[in-house]
DNA sequence: CTTCTGCCGTGTTGCTTCCC
DNA sequence: GGGAAGCAACACGGCAGAAG
């Protein structure tokens, strides 16, 4: 039970991030903006008005006046400050999710109810009346009520999240998978950067800036996305999306794998190569279109690559790399030769990105690139004819779970 | 309905280390 | 030796749920 509250607190945070994303998407004009943690949790600056939004997520508790009383008093305090220094009026929006008890609050509020339920409170056995402390007239409280919106029937966590995913599919004309793994993931990345910035300017973003920033093929490693979704689930959804076709077509598949030199072990990589070869080649005698996959290993030491290939050959696992004899230069036709039952080529290893590009350009078959990267993408191949899937992973182990 | 609890992030304080 | 920079320990406050 030690981390019980932590999990719920994190869910509360995510609820707030999601609401932020939702509010940005709801902005009408490209130039309108939001501020994270400005006056309240989220401040919306649209052309005609400003709204300070306070967000509460109580997954397991019941609504009570006292729960939202504090935020309302904070809002009233801000209201008082803004009228006494004659700042422009802003709207206040209290957005909350509760398990039950919403019927305790009847809207709209009148001044008397506002005082009784929210402004009169006790602390350390002392009775306080905030409207008197702040010296506000009933007329002013009336104005405050006009600027205040309370919504305690907010969407629950999952509904709100599904909502956002759907907005992304509509806006970017993409699949639900892409909405979640690309746009939502990138959106979290942007929100995270804003939320952890110090200055108000850095916590501000316009709708246009936001949309431009999340609409990139580059997908960065994002620890928040990994909190939101367990690594295993992420791997499974990648697997379901890209690697679960039953009838594997005889395409030229290029697997790009990045190793982390600090944690590299040869046996682990070899195991992965065996898995790739096994799953993505067809070399039976009766197969008319036999084939095997290509592999390029990023950041692997050159001498280590030679030793690795040597070991594979010793173990009767036939690999080719386009170099036919000692001293030869890279022969693209050699590496492109069809793998068959008879020549028993199980894997084609490309030694460099240059060899990879040459092979991609010279092949006339259907080509697919699967790039697995740790922190940053390392290969771009812009061709409408070639499917290029980029998948961020944390370690080689993840690739095994995905393919 | 209020108070308590565990957790987290942040700000403060006072000390050490480093460089001039 | 003095001042600036860095760092660890600590306290504090906010959060949501649970207990009282």
Q: Are residues A352 and A262 in the same domain?
A: yes
What is the CA A376 to C1' C4 distance in angstroms? 37
> What's the pLDDT at A103?
74
Q: Are residues A54 and A152 in the same domain?
A: yes
> What's the pLDDT at A312?
92
What is the CA A116 to C1' C19 distance in angstroms? 27
How many angstroms separate the CA atoms of A359 and A257, rounded? 17
Total of domains in chain A: 2
Question: Nearest to residue A295, comparing CAs of A375, A359, A382, A366?
Answer: A359
Q: Among A97-101, A110-114, A204-208, A253-257, name the one with the lowest average pLDDT.
A: A97-101
What is the CA A174 to C1' B1 distance in angstroms? 48
Strand C: which of residues 9-68 in chain A lie with Cβ below 7 A? Answer: 9, 12, 56-61
Q: What number of helices (H) and strands (E) belong to chain A? A: 16, 14
Q: Are residues A126 and A202 in the same domain?
A: yes
Q: Are residues A197 and A294 in the same domain?
A: no
How many angstroms separate the CA atoms of A115 and A141, rounded? 9
Q: Domain for residue A220, yes or no? A: no
What is the CA A78 to C1' B5 distance in angstroms? 30
> What's the pLDDT at A331?
92
Q: Are residues A195 and A256 in the same domain?
A: no
Instruction: Reply yes or no: is the peptide bond before residue A131 cis, omega within 30 of 0.
Output: no
Q: What is the mean pLDDT of residues A368-383?
A: 87
Q: Are residues A259 and A172 in the same domain?
A: no
Instruction: Reply yes or no: is the peptide bond before residue A108 cis, omega within 30 of 0.
Output: yes
Most confidently modeled range among A92-106, A205-219, A355-369: A355-369
Most confidently modeled range among A100-104, A178-182, A264-268: A264-268
DSSP helix/strand/coil, A294: strand
Cβ of residue A96 lies below 7 Å from strand C: no
Q: Are residues A136 and A249 in the same domain?
A: no
Q: Which residues touch strand B (CB under 7 A)?
A: A 2-3, 5-6, 9, 64-67, 104, 121-124, 196
With CA of A8 and C1' of each nucleotide, the nearest comes out as: C16
Q: What is the mean pLDDT of residues A285-297?
A: 86
> What's the pLDDT at A4?
46
> What's the pLDDT at A306?
93
Residue A3 pLDDT grade (very low, low, confident, very high; cuts 50, 70, 90): very low
What is the CA A197 to C1' B17 distance in angstroms? 29
Protein CB footprint (7 Å) on chain C nucleotides: 14-18
* Domain extent for A298: 230-402
With CA of A61 and C1' of each nucleotide, the nearest comes out as: C17
pLDDT one-digit tens code per residue, A377-403: 899 888 888 888 888 888 888 888 888
User: Residue A124: which region, alpha, beta or left (left: phi > 0; alpha: psi -120 to 50)?
Assistant: left
Q: Which residue has the higher pLDDT, A65 or A169?
A: A169
In degrees to the nearest 10, what's the CA dihedral of A98, A99, A100, A106? 20
Q: Domain for residue A100, yes or no? A: yes
Q: How far is CA A144 from CA A50, A136, A302, in A?
A: 14, 10, 70
Q: Are residues A147 and A276 in the same domain?
A: no
Share of chain A above pLDDT 90, in %: 17
Neighbours of A403 (CB within 10 A): 20
Q: Are residues A185 and A287 in the same domain?
A: no
What is the CA A244 to C1' B12 distance in angstroms? 55
pLDDT one-digit tens code per residue, A317-355: 899 998 989 889 999 999 888 888 888 888 999 999 999
Q: Domain for residue A223, yes or no? A: no
């Amino acid at each position: 039970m030690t981390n019980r509250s932590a999990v719920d607190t994190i869910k509360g945070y995510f609820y707030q991030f999601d609401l932020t994303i939702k509010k940005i998407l709801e902005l009408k004009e490209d130039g309108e903006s939001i501020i994270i943690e400005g006056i309240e949790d989220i401040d919306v600056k649209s052309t005609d008005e400003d709204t300070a939004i306070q967000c509460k997520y109580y997954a397991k508790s019941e609504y009570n006046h006292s729960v939202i009383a504090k935020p309302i008093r904070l809002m009233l305090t801000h209201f008082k400050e803004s009228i006494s220094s004659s700042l422009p009026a802003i709207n206040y929006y209290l957005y909350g999710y509760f398990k039950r008890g919403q019927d305790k609050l009847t809207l709209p509020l009148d001044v008397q109810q506002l005082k009784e339920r929210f402004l009169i409170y006790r602390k350390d056995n002392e009775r306080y009346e905030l409207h008197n402390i702040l010296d506000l007239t009933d007329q002013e409280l009336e104005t405050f009520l006009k600027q205040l919106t309370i919504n305690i029937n907010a969407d629950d966590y999952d509904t709100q999240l599904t909502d956002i995913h759907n907005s992304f599919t509509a806006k970017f004309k993409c699949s639900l998978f892409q909405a979640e793994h690309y746009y939502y993931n990138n959106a979290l990345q942007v929100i995270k950067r804003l939320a952890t910035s110090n200055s108000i300017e850095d916590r501000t973003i316009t709708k246009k800036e936001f949309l431009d920033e999340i609409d990139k093929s580059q997908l960065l490693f994002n620890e928040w996305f990994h909190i939101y979704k367990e690594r295993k689930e992420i791997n499974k959804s990648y697997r379901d999306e890209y690697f679960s076709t039953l009838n594997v077509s005889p395409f030229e598949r290029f697997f790009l794998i990045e190793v982390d030199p600090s944690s590299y072990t040869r046996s682990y990589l070899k195991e992965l190569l065996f898995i790739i070869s096994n799953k993505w080649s067809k070399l039976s005698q009766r197969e008319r279109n036999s084939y095997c996959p290509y592999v390029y290993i990023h950041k692997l030491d050159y001498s280590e690559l030679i030793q690795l290939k040597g070991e594979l050959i010793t173990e009767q696992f036939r690999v080719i790399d386009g170099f036919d004899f000692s001293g030869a230069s890279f022969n693209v036709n050699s590496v492109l030769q069809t793998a068959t039952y008879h020549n028993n080529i199980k894997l084609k290893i490309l030694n460099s990105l240059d060899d990879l590009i040459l092979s991609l350009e010279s092949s006339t078959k259907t080509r697919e690139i699967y790039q697995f990267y740790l922190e940053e993408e390392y290969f771009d191949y812009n061709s409408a004819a070639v499917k290029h899937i980029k998948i961020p992973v944390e370690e080689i182990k993840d690739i095994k779970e995905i393919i």
